[in-house]
Amino acid sequence: MELAGITKPSVTFAGFFRYRVVDGAYVVTNAQGDFVILTAAEFRAFAEGTIAPGAELYEKLRRGNFIRAEFDVPMAVERLKRRKRFLGGGPNLHMLVVTLRCNETCVYCHASRANMDAVQTDMTAEIAEKSIDLALGSSSPFITIEFQGGEPLVNYPVLQHAIRYGQRRAQEAGKSVEFTMVSNLSLMDEEKLAFLLDHRVQICTSIDGPEHLHDKQRKLIASSAFNAAVKW
């Protein structure tokens, strides 16, 4: 087997590893996520198994669990468990589509947009509560609830109710909750903004580019979608 120009790599010295050459250096990783960066000469010595025990490079590799004879199984298990700890945490990001209605008509919309009179697409306060209860049923101690649409500010009363309800229920459940809202900001006003900031809601919007480009893609009747967004 040929390995980076090495025709007879050692099968007894090196533990399991992968490597990649980046700007002439060898980035060597193992299954549990440790890594070392070696020069070409160091990598050759590592692969051929010619590094003397006690040498500085040997100790560097030993600490990273790259030497087969010195492989520390308990350390590898703990590091692998730490890397994969998210698997037992449960889902922590939950999205609530509080309406499909939107006052903008984006040419690339992928959100099943509904017209502003399609009130039947609005989420009710009851469904919002059930959705938040379901999210808080996750085994994750930290929950993020993201409001999407349509344009979520179209159904602002339910969004407002969901935030208040979610904070109260999270406190009762002993969990941490954060809220995020994805909005075109065209329906924002000082009162809504004050509420959102008071409740630490993270606000996300999109600017597609200069005004002429943004307004070509995101159309707002009788107004500039770009100016409505940048105002806030």
Q: What is the pTM of this model?
A: 0.67
CA 112 to chain centre: 24
Side chain identity at 180, as an amino acid letter? T
> What's the rounded mean pLDDT across residues 177-201?
97
| Three-state SS at 97 | strand
In the numeric block, which tokens belong to residue 155?
């159904």
End-to-end CA distance of the chain: 61
Give 11's pLDDT tier (boundaries 50, 70, 90).
low
Angle separating helix axes 125-136 and 156-173, nearest 10 degrees: 30
| Three-state SS at 29 | strand
pLDDT at site 166: 97
User: Cis link prior to 150 (omega < 30° from 0)?
Assistant: yes
pLDDT at site 1: 44
Do the bridges between strand 25-29 and strand 218-220 make them parallel or antiparallel, or are there none, so unpaired? Answer: unpaired
pLDDT tens-digit map of 69-111: 999 999 999 998 888 877 777 899 999 999 999 999 999 988 8
> What's the rounded mean pLDDT across residues 39-57?
93
Angle separating helix axes 40-48 and 56-63, nearest 10 degrees: 70
The answer to whether the beta carbons of residues 146 and 180 sit under 8 Å apart is yes
pLDDT at site 50: 93
pLDDT at site 222: 86
